[in-house]
Chain A
């Protein structure tokens, strides 16, 4: 390994050759502003476009300023990051970027969470110095999940890198040239006319308000204040591990009790836990796994909880649409049970109940609106709000999450086990299914609950487990690029697996497109992951089939896992070759 001795702002440091000036400066705790640059090396996402030039620095002996994010160091390099010339140039760069920006921060969803706004503030921008041409593109609100406002795009192309290289969905491209250039789907069509799966990872990495989410907050407020509606909330596992961040709480702290308290405060009649539905998913899915594995038929079986992944399957692997489990996602299972079993218990009509999902995910908004999930025109899930969206509602209501006393979920659909909690991380669905499948198949109690080999943030994990003599070959993938790799291997008969878990977002739902922004700090994802595993460990019950409310639901209502009624309510089918232009 060759090294380079360099000097930045009179400080000496020895770094590996090939290191960029930016990386070397970070080691010295010297801050160079960046905007287009994004390095999420944990998920192999590095945006190297060097298009914004906000990070220019002075390199001795070099005539022009150098972009720190894309300039490798050399032995003997002398760098100055804050000379008059560098600071002036950076300011001009920012002013030029802002010259084609709407300046409507007050009404922008990304306000206070925007990297461009932060820079403008740090640079002390107080006027609009260049009055040049301005872009005027119509809003793309063609779909239920993602809102695109190209007028706020700074052409950093992080979204494109994420979509094409990490997720391999391949929807975005640099379209046109020069001032007309935009990042858009082919032919500048709206997202709804593309094969976008709405995973929302583009939204997660967008530094400005160009990519945000479609919001259902007005509809939710209306429902909450409508005396004729019975309004129920369900919250996904990953919410509790992240929403605290929006209130200045330490990352990695599960705030389950406070979250429930906040939802009660907002006026929800019942607060249920999607973890309950996750337990229910496991009952149905483990049953399906055991059936298919015992008969050795139609293997591998793929998990089906993730709507981004299901969209990906329908568009990109229609020939494999027979292999995922037919189980609905936990969100939709909760919807189906609330609007049938629970509606009966309440003595209410399904249309008088409004079910609001709090999800870490934008694809869930699309999923909830699928026509097959609205029997007789009444949607099982009425509205979906993201973690970020709920945080805004809590703030709007003047509730300080951090100071709330813990409260418990309502029963019966709020009772859950540790197996349900870990659905929010990559490997969690697999582990939860194994805990139940093992005991169903062997009739024995698991000596050790943890299947540590399926855990972790790697994109593809493969392992085998021994279910009392039956060897199961497992793969766990997170991120759609990883899913593509494994699915292509399956398509070409290169690998043999029995069960595969797929989650669309790298790391799982804790890194979903609806979660608080991490602004390039992937260590937050690891902390959220740990938060969910600790919550699992702290639970008295950690196996889905031991959830008393689940047992009661089967006794009173569903019969057996896989029963005719369970199939009608809790299972679905997929739509290969669906024509997205008609949606």
Chain B
């Protein structure tokens, strides 16, 4: 497949986001004839998720055409890695650590408390796009188990009854 002119592809996000991604792909300097060009796919998807926040179908198609590979293949790679997500993230990305130390200290109860209060499941986002919940494996702060991170902030030794307060903090923080 040919590398198509990215300007001709359909875009559903602001142009400057695509420009950022295009700049990244240009810097990779991919030879269209190189059968290993697929090897760049994961890097490009990582960058894409960093810029756009998630990897919806439109963006996967964009990346596929940009790299000259089939959309199905991009979709397969996105579905394989836990890191990639096709649902948008909330303004507050709640990550509950499910590593061994956190797990034995009741991380599952923390996670279900978040799910219950926000009315969404892990991997989902609230309708107002304010909160999303994910679980992750070990953030390396086992002495603080169970650990929850929200955006860049770390909450340690979280108990189920703290969860409501943590969510309220976020809302207060947003108003301030």
Contacts and interface: CB of A to CB of B under 8 A. Distances in A.
Genuine A/B complex: yes
Nearest to A173: B76
Contacts of B151: none
B71 A175 contact: no
Nearest to A172: B72
Nearest to A170: B70
Given A186-B57, A488-B2, A177 B80 contact: yes
A175 to B, nearest CB: 5
Interface in B63-77: 69-76
A164 B70 contact: yes
A259 to B, nearest CB: 38
Nearest to A177: B80
A187 interface: yes
Interface string A187-210: 100000010000000000000000
B79 interface: yes
A185 interface: yes
Contacts of A187: 57, 75, 86
B60 interface: yes
A541 interface: no
A174 interface: yes
Contacts of A174: 76, 80
B72 A176 contact: no
Q: Which of B60, B72, B75, B76 has the most CB of A within 10 A?
A: B72
B42 to A, nearest CB: 14
B73 A175 contact: no
Contacts of A170: 69-73
A176 B76 CA distance: 7
A171 interface: yes
Given A186-B57, A186-B60, A187-B57, A173 B73 contact: yes
Contacts of A194: 72
Interface string B42-75: 0000000000000001001000000001111111
A186 B80 contact: no
Contacts of B80: 174, 176-177
A398 B52 CA distance: 63
A186 B74 contact: yes
B52 to A, nearest CB: 17
A174 B79 CA distance: 9
A175 B70 contact: no
A176 B79 CA distance: 5
Interface string B121-135: 000000000000000
Contacts, number: 40
A173 B72 contact: yes
Given A186-B57, A187-B57, A177 B72 contact: no
A375 B57 CA distance: 37
A281 B171 CA distance: 71
A177 B70 contact: no
B2 A186 contact: no
A170 B1 CA distance: 11
Nearest to A491: B2
Nearest to B70: A170
Contacts of A172: 72
A185 B72 contact: yes
Contact of B71 (A186, A488, A491): A186
B79 A177 contact: yes
Contact of B72 (A186, A488, A491): A186
A176 B86 CA distance: 13
A174 B81 CA distance: 12
B59 to A, nearest CB: 12
Contacts of A175: 75-76, 79
A164 B73 contact: yes
A172 B70 CA distance: 9
A491 B1 CA distance: 12
Contacts of B86: 187
Nearest to A484: B1
Nearest to A187: B75
A164 B70 CA distance: 8
B2 to A, nearest CB: 7
A164 B38 CA distance: 14
A176 B75 CA distance: 9
Contacts of B70: 164, 170-171, 173
Nearest to B57: A187
Interface in A241-257: none
A217 to B, nearest CB: 31
Nearest to A316: B1
Contacts of A173: 70, 72-73, 75-76
Interface in A145-191: 164, 170-177, 185-187
A174 B80 CA distance: 8
A177 B72 CA distance: 15
Interface string A290-313: 000000000000000000000000
A170 B72 CA distance: 7
B156 to A, nearest CB: 31
B72 A171 contact: yes
A185 B76 CA distance: 9
Contacts of B57: 186-187
A474 B71 CA distance: 33
A157 to B, nearest CB: 11
A527 to B, nearest CB: 34
Contacts of B73: 164, 170, 173
Contacts of B75: 173, 175, 185-187
A175 B80 CA distance: 7
Interface in A541-569: none
B122 to A, nearest CB: 16
Contacts of A176: 79-80
A378 B57 CA distance: 38
Nearest to B60: A186
A152 B71 CA distance: 25
26 contacts: A170-B69, A170-B71, A170-B72, A170-B73, A171-B72, A172-B72, A173-B70, A173-B72, A173-B75, A173-B76, A174-B76, A174-B80, A175-B75, A175-B76, A175-B79, A177-B80, A185-B72, A185-B75, A186-B60, A186-B72, A186-B76, A187-B57, A187-B75, A187-B86, A194-B72, A491-B2
Given A171-B72, A173-B76, 17 more contacts: A164-B72, A164-B73, A170-B70, A173-B70, A173-B73, A174-B76, A175-B76, A176-B80, A177-B80, A185-B72, A186-B71, A186-B72, A186-B74, A186-B76, A194-B72, A488-B2, A491-B2
Q: What 7 pairs across the A-B complex have the smallest Cβ distances?
A: A170-B70, A173-B76, A186-B75, A173-B72, A186-B72, A175-B79, A186-B71
